[in-house]
Amino acid sequence: MQITVTVNGIEHTRDVEPRLLLVHFLRDSLELTGTHWGCDTSNCGACVIWLDGAPAKSCTVLAVMADGRAVRTVEGLETAAGLDPIQQAFSDKHGLQCGFCTPGMMMTCRALLDENPDPSEHEIREAISGQICRCTGYENIVRSVKAAAAVESGAMQSSAAQQGVTA
């Protein structure tokens, strides 16, 4: 059947089997291979993307269920303005090693920061608790999120200060 999914702001229309998993639609049909898969049971979170603005495990969503909906993937984090602060922070704080869980982790952490700009360590750990990383022991992922939060709060303050000056 034909579906239309908006991925990273661009509409894509494809003919798919109803059973096609969203992760395969992204990877195989759209060649967006930044979204990975690591298990079959929605336990590992390597496949996390945003579905209508909320993190979801794309190995456990059918592509047809995303018909008419909006998806954001790791490829949609960087903009013309540059890397998303969460991307920069993962590199700065060594929040990744093999890089396989990283896209899913960053998608979840981006969503966390959008909702909670200053999360505690516990809140960060809870947010990523459905995602497995075998390399980092999570420590530097937590530090990455804190660093991104600090950068963003600094950016907000400076932009607020600027507005104050012009106002």
For other proteins, the closer CB: 8 or 117:
8
CB of 23 to other proteins, least distance (A): 8
For other proteins, the closer CB: 71 or 124:
124
CB of 4 to other proteins, least distance (A): 13
Per-residue b or e along 115-151, where b marks 16 or more CB atoms closer than 10 Å to that residue's CB: eeeebeeeebeebbeebbbebbebebbbbbbbbbbee
Virtual torsion, Cα 34, 128, 21, 54, nearest 10 deg = -100
CB of 46 to other proteins, least distance (A): 6
For other proteins, the closer CB: 91 or 153:
91
